[in-house]
A = this chain, B = another copy of it.
Amino acid sequence: MPIRPSDLDRVKALPLFAQASDELFRDMLGGGFLQKFPAGTTLLTEGDPVDFLYILLEGAVELEGTWNDKATTLAVLKPVSAFILAAVVLDSNGLMSAHTLESSQILMVSGEALRRAMMRDARFCFTVAQELAGCYRGVVRALKNQKLRGGMERLANYLISQQARCGGGETFALPHEKRVLASLLGMTPENLSRAFASLGDYGVSVSGPNVTIHRPVVLQRLAKPDALIDQAGPTGDTPASAAELERWTPEPARAVS
């Protein structure tokens, strides 16, 4: 499984690696694998030791946590994203399971090599710290989202974010199964259905995976999007969702309040 140059370029385009020297970059990827996994493959199990940093190049990966036979989705990743960086930096075990939602191509980078590179190059180490800080802030947003908002409000804000991420047109597609979306938003599939139905009163119509927001202003009055919870503020510019953790890159210094 040789790594294609075009894949290498995509990895190097990640903020995490963009500033690393070619030498450092080559060293790190020395002990790496590029692998394809079918949909539904479990990549990591909660509680197991983590030996590799995973980088998703194609497909989609779900991160989930479980307790007492219940499961909840903590994030859904799309390319290009690195995940479980925190466990790798601490050489610890994962707090969440990871499995593919679609057939996925994944680059696995040796955790050992990554930590060595960090110790060797302060600049790269700083970039990792920035990435981790960004991840941290992503989960803080998710926690605020969960504790401060109700189900319909979470859904409304998700739709507004997703719309921005899809280019801003009044109709766009949901990127995952509704069942996954429900778990991500912290509700049951039944409840998500009902929440979608209720949003009809706010000018939202749903047809399969396609959503149309007919009256954005009305929906926003319900959603009250917030720059400190949803990554894209009320004016909706920046992509990425509050819930899609880890995938977010260091924020611009002084983001809009």
Residues of A within 8 A of B (CB): 46-49, 65-68, 70, 72, 74, 85-87, 89-93, 95-96, 115, 118-123, 125-126, 128-130, 132-137, 139-144, 146-149, 186, 224, 226-229, 250-251, 253-255, 257
Contacts and interface: CB of A to CB of B under 8 A. Distances in A.
A103 to B, nearest CB: 27
Given A122-B125, A129-B129, A93 B148 contact: no
B90 A253 contact: yes
Q: How many of these chains are in the complex?
A: 2
Contact of A65 (B122, B186, B228, B253): B228
Nearest to A49: B254
Given A89-B130, A122-B119, A133-B89, A67 B148 contact: yes
A90 B147 contact: no
Contacts of A90: 130, 133-134, 137, 250-251, 253
A78 to B, nearest CB: 20
13 contacts: A65-B144, A70-B148, A72-B148, A74-B144, A86-B132, A90-B253, A92-B253, A95-B140, A118-B129, A119-B126, A121-B122, A122-B125, A146-B147
A186 B96 CA distance: 22
A128 B125 CA distance: 9
Given A119-B122, A133-B89, A146-B146, A65 B96 contact: no
Given A47-B257, A65-B228, A89 B129 contact: yes
